[in-house]
Structure formats: C-alpha cells, structure tokens
Chain A
Amino acid sequence: MDAVQISHVTKTFGSVTAVNDLSLAVPQGSIYGFIGPNGSGKTTTMRMIVNIFYPDCGEIRLFGDGRPQNSADLIGYLPEERGLYQKMSVQALLEFYGELRSGRSVSAEVLSWLERLELAGRASAKVETLSKGMSQKVQFIATVIPEPRLLILDEPFSGLDPVSADAIRSAILDLRRRGVTVILSTHDMHLAESMCDYILMIFRGRKVLDGTLSSIQDQYGEDTIRVTTAGGLAALERLPGVEQVRDLGQVQELRLTRGADPQDVLRALVAGARVTSFSLVKPSLHDIFVRIAGAAAVEESHANA
C-alpha cells in the first residue's frame, strides 16, 4: 500500500498553474525527495497533501482510502516558512503541538526528543532565547511528535549548521527505519542523492523526473566523463564528442554528445595532455537538474541550499 497516492492533480492560482496534472505514488516507509527550482510547485504539492490547499481537480489518497482531510493526525508537517510562539517555553510549546495533533498528553515524548537532540537543558527556556539552530531543532521536534506515519518536510535543512543538520538527518533516517514515510523537498542535490529512495523533480508545475536515483540516471546513460589532467581546464578545450565541460575544481566533468565514443575522447585527451584519472560515470542529479531546468535555476538552487 502506498502512503500517498496522487492522481492527476492540478492546482491553479488565478492565471498561474502551480501544479499541472501531477500523478505520484509514495511507497510506505520510503524517503521521497522533491526537487525543482523555486516556484516549480513542490510546496503547493505538499500543501495539498496536508490539506491546506484543495486540488482543483484530481485526487489525493493517504494510506489507501484516507483522504487528506480525514488523515491530518497521521501527518507531521514542517513548512518551509516556519515560526514558533516566541513567549512560550520550549516544553510547553512542544506539548501544545503534540496535544493539538494527538489529543493526548505527550510530555514523555517531548522529554525524550529534547534529550535526543541535546535540548533537554533548554526545556524551560523561552523560545525567543534560543539560537536559530536550536529553534529549528524545536520546530523539527514539534513536527515529529507524536510519531506521525507520514512526515512532510519542506526544506528541512535550509539554514541549518552542519551539526544540527546531521542531528536532524540522523533522526529522519531513524524514523524511516521505524516505518515512517518521509517526503522532503530540498535544493541540495547531494543530499537528495544520498538520502532519498525516490526522487521527484517538478518543473513549471509538471513532473519531469520520478523514480529511484539509478533509474533516473539510467534514462541518461553513461554520458559523463570525470577526468583530471596535468593541463587542467585548458587541456579540455576543443575535444571531439564533448558538448559541455564543467569545472568542479580538482576534477572536470565532460558531457558527451549523443553517440560519441568515450575512447575517442580519451585518445584526444592523451594526445594533448598527461591524464591522471579518467572514469566514465552516469550523470549526477545536479547535472540532470541543470539539463532540465537550466543554469539560472541551478544558481538559484545553490543560493537556497
């Protein structure tokens, strides 16, 4: 049974179509990553799953037959734009959110999560006294109490320092191991590659990629060469069969034109410079994202990562 089943959903705001005929199945217990440039429809899709927005047409079902309006208590939602009641104490705030969703006291769970994310010492502190990283951890705890079956996290790592990001990443993976389904959106392609079982890319409201990372990469084949040469970037100019060169610093990435033979490229390289490493790889998610959305979207994506 899929945790989320989206069938031909469309959502418009005035003359803008935010989501266009989107269909998607999120298997239970998986981590599904939503990627796409800003304004592509990721947040709108998430809001429709949480029942904040209603689809204009199409249908969303949760855990089989459940409609979003009847399944709110199964979902933990961390919005991209998030805030907390500043004057409340951390513990009172978390108990409020937990009770709001479950209808029961969640004091024990609150203490356990505070302990786990190293915030136990700040339980009685007012939210306004917390650092940004601490606040984001508190927001995450508010989302996961009391153990929802479906977690929807809109940009959960944006603005987090590496230590806090690691703590939350670890908590998400642990929840997945306990059977929780996770949908998260991110601009960090490396994170999506390393963390997500499935990846959905939305572009201008339409689904353009959907599947596991390897299945997505298979669509593009092994058309990428990673190379290091003694001559650096200059040695890679005017190579036959190469349509794009991407400088990653210590390594350069070459994208082959359709039908080009990697052996011809290697021969041309060796003829002009000393090659220290050469490997034929599938395109990275970042590369695929660029091919679909264009360079401008990538720059925007980097700025938000």
Chain B
Amino acid sequence: MRTHKVLTIARRDYVATVRTKAFLFGLVVAPILFGGGSIGMSMLKGGPDLKDRHVAIIDHTSLVAGALVSAAKEKNDQELFDKKTHQQIAPRYVFEVIAPAAGSSGQLLALSNRVRSRQLAAFLEIGKDVLQPPKDSGDADEAASEKTDPDTRVSYYTNAGGIDEMRTWLNGPIRDGVRLARLVRLGIDIQRNPGLSASVPIDGLSLLERDEKNGQVHEARKRNELEGFFVPFAVAMILAMIVMVGSAPMLQSVTQDKSLRIVETLLGAVTPLELMTGKVLGSVGVSVTSSLLYVIGGTVAVNALGIAGLLPLTIIPWFYAFLLTDLVMLCAFAAALGACCSTPQDAQNLAIVLLMPCLIPMFMLVTVLRQPNGMLATVLSLAPPFTPILMLLRQAMPSGVPAWQPWAGLAGVLVFAAGTVWAASRIFRVAILIQGKPPRLAEMVHWALRG
C-alpha cells in the first residue's frame, strides 16, 4: 500500500468534510442538543411543580389515617422549604380523611372521578387488617393469599403517568403511619415518644482511598447521583454519538462517489484498498477533530461547574482507544456497504444496518447501568461490536471493572476491526464498479470470503 496515495485521499476527504456547512452546523448543534437535554432536565429538576397534592384516605382501621397524616406532615415539614433560602422547594401534601361508605365501589368510583377532574391527585384505601402483623407461619399458600387480600394492604389509586414521584414520596409516610398505629394499638404512647417515627438520613459515600505518593488515606466523599449514572451515561453516549456521526456519512460519500462516476477515475491511480483506507482515515480524522472539541469543551465545562472530580480522567485514553477502533471498524463497514449501493436511496436503506453496532448497546445501556458487573453486562461488553460503548460505560462507573476486561475487550475489538477492514476491502473491490441492483447478502459474504 502506497502511503502518500492513502494520505492524499484522506486529506481530500477530511478537508472536503470539515469545510462543509453541515459539519460546522453539526459541531455546534450536536452538543446543544445533547447538552440542552441535560440542561432542560436540570431546569425542570430545579423548578418542580409546587402545587398542593390533595390525597384522600379511606381508612377501614380508623387508626392508620391519623398516624399516616402525622408522619406525612413530619416529612413534609422537613422537605417543604430550603433551609438556607426558606423558599418552597417541594409540593405540600394535603390529606382528606373519608369515612368508609357501605357501598364501597360507589365511593371508589366517586373518588376516581374527583381524581379525573383534578380535585384530587390520588386516594388511598387502607385495608381493615393492615394492623395485623404478617403471620410467619411458614405456609407458602397462606402467605400468598395474605399478599393478595385487599384487607391486609393499602391500595393506591391514581391516574398519574410516567415516573410517579407521589407514590415514592407516600411510601415512607404510609409505612410509618401503619407502624405508629400498630404501636398505639399495643398501648405505647407516641405523644410522649415523638421521635419514634423520625426517619434516619442515609449519606451516600465513596470508598476510602490511600494516596500512593504519601500513604495518606483520603476520607470518603459524598457521592453524587451524577457520578453513578450521568457521567457513565454521558461518556458512553458521546462515544456513540461521535461514532454514528462519523461513520454514517461514509456510506453516503462512497455511494455518491460511485453514482457520480468518480470512483473509476480514482481507481486508475490507486488500488481499491488504498482508496478505502484513505476514505476511512479521512473519516476517522473528521471524527477525532470533533471529538477533541467535545472533550476539551466538556472538560472546560465540568471544571467551570465545579464537578470535575466526577469525571474519571483515566477514562480518556480508553475513550480514544475505543473511539478509534470503533470508527475504523464502522467506517470500513460503511465503505463496503456504500460500494454495494448504486443510489443514495440504497444507502439510506442500509444506514440502519450500519448503525446496529451502536444502536444495540444503546438499547442495553439501562440494563448495564443497573447491574454493571452482572453476567449479561460483562458478556455484552466483551462482544467486539458492542465493546467500545458498553465497556466504556462500565469503566466510567464508580464500581469500575476488573483490570483485565478492558484489555481483553480492546484486543477483541482490534481483531474484529482488522477482520472487518479485510472483509470490507474485498467487498469494496468487487462491488465498487457494479451498477444496478444492490447485491444480496449471500453475494457480499461470497465476495468477502472468496474475493
């Protein structure tokens, strides 16, 4: 392979791309879209809906509702106002205790209609036997029947959609209320023991570390929820975004060169492998340029926001190792697919196939975030097409990964990328001069194996 020819092709493609308005527009718009979502989320988080939440309670025990309201008031009082600014930061819960009516379903329907007409946010029905502690009989059937018996349960009725924060909020007061009512029933005077239902705060802390230079042990620091979720998610998403934005245009570019009859002129001067390698390098160069801007911009941003400590800097070399290998792999794949297309329409139809190695791991992000070191997450992150995104996601999490896994993953990706480039170059060489109907998958496999 003649290096100067490869570099000449790469330089032309690089310059042609970075000078386009689409590239400059994408460079600005992509972070705005990505960052805008986060800013929008934080803005919404900073300004929650502070309207009162009216909740009705039908109490078949006559004891729990009072204790529940008392526990809720205690929780509400603690959270309602910011301790420094004294501004309201959480909604107030207002309860309406309703005596159970004889025709139970009619009463439930009436309350449901009040929820529909937004007079109420939700209503609770406390079963008459909730004060009976669950039996520990060891009989599985009996335990199961108790679990499904509405009299032993609290029913929560609402039409709230999406993530129902109200239910999460009410969980604590309901449990505290039931427990306080049980204590009252046992004859304990809760008025004289007001702290009985007080909740105990839990601090989330990081692990302690020893400084390798001076041997000092660094104290644990408070963990931010961003650290466990947002940072890994953002790192994986940035990688996926750069790879998708970098590789997808290659498909169009090769198809365009082919449909505009530019390819044969180029093949008079370079071999198909040199042409493909040059185009892949040019595309990788474009992506590295945009990624550098994103990484530098991101680093400046997290420093300015004072959350630089959340970004594990050791991840950056891995980020680039996986970015480059993933880009080479997908750009070569895109070149082969582009060579098989005769029109931009054909290329558009194949774009989804090209993006599968990015889309599948993105669908798996939540699963991996939940159990980053589970069997499924480990196996998926060691599958070469998915390794770059999923391994990086796991590495960016506070729990980290065993030291051997990123190296094993990278080795797998390198081997897979080399195989992809080899097969793609064989498909490219045959397909690039064929016009008309795109080849079938079997033909592409045949070209890859037999040339």
Contacts and interface: CB of A to CB of B under 8 A. Distances in A.
Interface of A: 50-52, 69, 72-73, 75-79, 81-88, 96-97, 99-101, 103, 139, 142-143, 152
Given A100-B9, A103-B4, A88 B16 contact: yes
Contacts of A97: 265, 269
Given A69-B271, A72-B269, A79-B261, 14 more contacts: A52-B267, A52-B268, A52-B433, A72-B270, A78-B268, A79-B264, A79-B268, A82-B261, A84-B265, A85-B260, A96-B8, A97-B265, A103-B5, A152-B268
B116 interface: no
A79 B8 contact: no
B133 to A, nearest CB: 78
Can you list the 6 inter-chain pairs with the closest CB atoms, starting with the nearest?
A77-B268, A83-B261, A83-B260, A79-B264, A81-B261, A103-B4
Contacts of A84: 260, 262, 265
B12 interface: yes
Interface in B152-166: none
B261 to A, nearest CB: 4
Nearest to B267: A52
B396 to A, nearest CB: 39
A42 to B, nearest CB: 14
A99 to B, nearest CB: 5
Most chain A beta-carbon neighbours within 10 Å: one of B12, B261, B269? B269
B12 to A, nearest CB: 5
Contact of A99 (B8, B16, B261, B265): B8
B270 A100 contact: yes
A52 B272 CA distance: 8
A142 B267 CA distance: 13
Task: State the majority secondary structure of interface residues on B.
Answer: helix
B261 A100 contact: no
A87 B270 CA distance: 22
Interface string B266-289: 111111000000000000000000
Interface string B15-48: 0100000000000000000000000000000000
Given A52-B433, A96-B12, A103-B4, A85 B269 contact: no
Contacts of B269: 72-73, 77, 97, 100-101
Interface string B34-72: 000000000000000000000000000000000000000
B9 A82 contact: no
Given A52-B433, A100-B8, A77 B265 contact: yes
B261 A75 contact: no
A50 B268 contact: yes
A52 B8 contact: no
B437 to A, nearest CB: 14
B231 to A, nearest CB: 40
A96 B261 CA distance: 17
Contacts of B5: 100, 103
Interface residues of B, number: 18
Given A100-B8, A103-B4, A85 B262 contact: yes
A75 B268 contact: yes
Contacts of A86: 260
Nearest to B19: A87
Contacts of A50: 267-268
Contacts of A82: 261, 264-265
15 contacts: A52-B264, A52-B433, A77-B265, A78-B268, A79-B268, A81-B264, A82-B264, A82-B265, A84-B260, A84-B262, A85-B12, A85-B16, A88-B16, A100-B8, A143-B268
A304 B339 CA distance: 28
Contacts of B271: 51, 69, 72
Contacts of A96: 8, 12
A148 to B, nearest CB: 10
A81 B266 CA distance: 12
B357 to A, nearest CB: 29
B16 to A, nearest CB: 7
A76 to B, nearest CB: 7
A83 B262 contact: yes
Contacts of A78: 265, 268
Interface in B430-446: 433
A136 to B, nearest CB: 12
A51 B273 CA distance: 13
B263 to A, nearest CB: 8
A152 B270 CA distance: 15
A51 B264 CA distance: 11
Nearest to A43: B264
B8 A87 contact: no
Contacts of B268: 50, 52, 72, 75-79, 143, 152
Interface in B234-271: 260-262, 264-271
Nearest to A85: B262
Contacts of A85: 12, 16, 260, 262
B174 to A, nearest CB: 66
A51 B16 CA distance: 28
A63 B264 CA distance: 23
A86 B433 CA distance: 20
A136 B424 CA distance: 32
A187 B278 CA distance: 36
A72 B274 CA distance: 13
Given A87-B16, A96-B8, A100-B5, A139 B265 contact: yes
Nearest to B434: A13
Contacts of B4: 103
Interface in B117-155: none
B181 to A, nearest CB: 77
A259 B234 CA distance: 91
Contacts of A72: 268-271
A96 B10 CA distance: 11
A87 B261 CA distance: 15
A218 B106 CA distance: 113
A87 B269 CA distance: 21
B273 to A, nearest CB: 11
A18 B220 CA distance: 76
Contacts of A83: 260-262, 265
B11 to A, nearest CB: 9
